[in-house]
């Protein structure tokens, strides 16, 4: 059992003359893990997050961080000990990127030169070119701004990071990159991260544990993402998690048992007969997949589906097969070269045997 870093004890937040925004919340957040608060609008997830750094004061109950009641520390000092990342990057438009990142160290009395030096290092940590440091936030893209927001939150090396829907305003491709980047950072940093989102997919990708909130500020289920998808605790959780939960649950099992078959490939530009009688994979000189040529299609290149990489999950394997025009999911190796293909039916039989194995284990 992991050690608790943040604890809510019967915490209630009630605004004047209304339903409670958070109702008798008791939960324990593990040190060094990512805990995701997820739920529909008005479920109290953001309010709960903001009570941790006292942006919102609870009506009753106590919250402790590292064993200390948060009300025992002056609010400003408490907040400086926690990184905070918000949806609209919240960067100060009148300060350069480097000075934005240096904000909290400067508030803590670190000299300007030292704080800037640290800020420049952090640009590198979050995957940004140090030359961006002199720019103003408005000169960065949305995804870059969010990276700067993360760097700013990390600047004073706080043990706790609070993230309030940080990736919900960027487009899906950038969001995916930022999520992977956060997971990569977390492997090195092992912060205690509390992450708020309304997106159950994001919650299951990022969370070591996921807390599903129901409207009215009640905690509906608090478990690992795998368990929430496999065994929702109530109708509400099941409907919130959505119809695809069976498919998404496949994202927790690696597809090691799925066979990779050889496939006929043809190099682009090479003359290999204009009318193939079966599906052929078109590759470039480095053997990287470009698309498919199909029977009766005049060597016209048809874009391929998603790729299946070593170590990927059953979900990726099945998606590779389902999204491919030939029905064959393209498997690539670590360098992106074609390794072969996976077949949908075989992925399904691996899924079925995984299910049997799980039942046998119960």
Between 128 and 330, name the residue whose CB sits nearer to other proteins. Answer: 128
Q: Does residue 105 belong to the site contacting other proteins (CB under 8 A)?
A: no
Strand order from edge to edge, sheet including 160-164: 82-86, 160-164, 192-197, 34-38, 209-214, 218-223
Between 173 and 345, name the residue whose CB sits nearer to other proteins. Answer: 173
Backbone angles phi, psi at 213, to 5 degrees: -100, 140
- The count of other CB atoms within 10 Å of the CB of residue 164 is 20
Smallest distance from the beta carbon of 171 to other proteins, in angstroms?
5
Smallest distance from the beta carbon of 118 to other proteins, in angstroms?
15
Select from 5, 128, 206, 255 the one that contacts other proteins (CB under 8 A): 128
Between 165 and 201, name the residue whose CB sits nearer to other proteins. Answer: 165
Q: In sequence order, what are the beta bridge partners of 37? A: 196, 211
Site track 158-197 with other proteins (rule: CB under 8 A), x = hit: ----x------xxx-xx--x--------------------
Select from 45, 80, 191, 316 the one that contacts other proteins (CB under 8 A): 80
Smallest distance from the beta carbon of 34 to other proteins, in angstroms?
19
Q: Does residue 115 belong to the site contacting other proteins (CB under 8 A)?
A: no
Between 169 and 189, name the residue whose CB sits nearer to other proteins. Answer: 169
Rounded CA gap, 324 and 261, in Å? 15
Q: Does residue 135 belong to the site contacting other proteins (CB under 8 A)?
A: yes
Select from 10, 60, 111, 141 the one that contacts other proteins (CB under 8 A): 141
Smallest distance from the beta carbon of 341 to other proteins, in angstroms?
26
Backbone angles phi, psi at 165, to 5 degrees: 45, 50
Smallest distance from the beta carbon of 196 to other proteins, in angstroms?
13
Q: Does residue 86 belong to the site contacting other proteins (CB under 8 A)?
A: yes
Smallest distance from the beta carbon of 121 to other proteins, in angstroms?
13
Q: What is the 3-state secondary structure (H, E, C) of the chain?
A: CCCEEEEEEEEEEECCCCCEEEEEEEEEEECCCEEEEECCCCCCHHHHHHHHCCCCCCCEEEEEECCEEHHHCCHHHHHHCEEEEECCCCCCCCCCHHHHHCHHHHHCCCCHHHHHHHHHHHHHHCCCCHHHHHCCHHHCCHHHHHHHHHHHHHCCCCCEEEEECCCCCCCHHHHHHHHHHHHHHHHHHCCEEEEEECCHHHHHHHCCEEEEEECCCEEEEEECHHHHHHCCCCHHHHHHHCCCHHHHHHHHCECCCCCCECCCEEECCCCCCCCCCCCEEEECCCCCEEEEECCCCCCCCECCCCCECCCCEHHHHHHHHHHCCCCEEEEECCCCCEEEEEEHHHHHHHHHHHHHHHHHHC
Count of positions on this chain that bind other proteins (CB under 8 A) = 43
Smallest distance from the beta carbon of 134 to other proteins, in angstroms?
10
Select from 20, 133, 143, 340 the one that contacts other proteins (CB under 8 A): 143
Between 107 and 302, name the residue whose CB sits nearer to other proteins. Answer: 107
Q: Does residue 95 belong to the site contacting other proteins (CB under 8 A)?
A: yes
CB under 8 A: which stretch of 15-23, 75-83, 197-205, 294-302 binds other proteins?
75-83
Q: Does residue 133 belong to the site contacting other proteins (CB under 8 A)?
A: no
Between 76 and 361, name the residue whose CB sits nearer to other proteins. Answer: 76
Smallest distance from the beta carbon of 97 to other proteins, in angstroms?
11
Q: Which residues bind other proteins (CB under 8 A)?
A: 53, 55, 76-80, 84, 86, 88, 90-95, 103-104, 107, 124, 127-130, 135-145, 152, 162, 169-171, 173-174, 177
């Amino acid at each position: 059992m992991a050690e608790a870093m943040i604890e809510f004890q019967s915490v209630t937040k009630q605004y004047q003359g209304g339903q409670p925004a958070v109702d008798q919340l008791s939960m324990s957040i593990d040190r060094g893990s990512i805990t995701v608060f997820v739920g529909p609008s008005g479920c109290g997830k953001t309010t709960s997050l903001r009570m941790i750094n006292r942006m919102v004061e609870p009506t009753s109950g106590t919250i402790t961080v590292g064993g200390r009641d948060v009300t025992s520390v002056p609010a400003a000092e408490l907040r400086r000990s926690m990184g905070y990342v918000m949806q609209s990057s919240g960067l100060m438009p009148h300060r350069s990127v480097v000075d934005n990142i240096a904000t909290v160290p400067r508030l803590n009395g670190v000299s300007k030169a030292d704080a800037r030096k640290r800020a420049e290092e952090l640009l590198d940590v979050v995957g940004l070119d140090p030359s961006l440091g002199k720019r103003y936030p408005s000169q960065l893209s949305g995804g870059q701004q969010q990276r700067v927001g993360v760097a700013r939150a990390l600047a004073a090396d706080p043990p706790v990071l609070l993230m309030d829907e940080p990736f919900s305003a960027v487009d899906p491709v950038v969001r995916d990159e930022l999520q992977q980047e956060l997971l990569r950072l977390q492997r090195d940093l092992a912060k205690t991260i509390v992450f708020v989102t309304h997106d159950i997919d994001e919650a299951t990708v990022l969370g070591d544990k996921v807390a599903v909130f129901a409207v009215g500020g009640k905690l509906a289920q608090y478990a690992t993402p795998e368990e929430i998808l496999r065994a929702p605790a109530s109708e509400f959780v099941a409907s919130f998690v959505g119809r695809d939960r069976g498919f998404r649950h496949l994202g927790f099992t690696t597809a090691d048992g799925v066979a990779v078959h050889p496939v006929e490939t043809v190099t682009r530009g090479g003359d290999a007969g204009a009318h193939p009688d079966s599906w052929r994979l078109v590759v470039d000189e480095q053997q990287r997949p470009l698309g498919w040529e199909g029977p009766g299609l005049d060597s016209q290149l048809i874009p391929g589906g998603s790729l299946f990489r070593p170590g990927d999950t059953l979900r990726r394997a099945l998606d590779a097969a389902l999204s491919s025009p030939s029905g064959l999911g393209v498997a690539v190796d670590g360098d992106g070269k074609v390794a072969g293909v996976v077949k949908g039916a075989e992925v399904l039989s691996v899924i079925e045997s995984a299910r049997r194995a799980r039942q046998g284990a119960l």
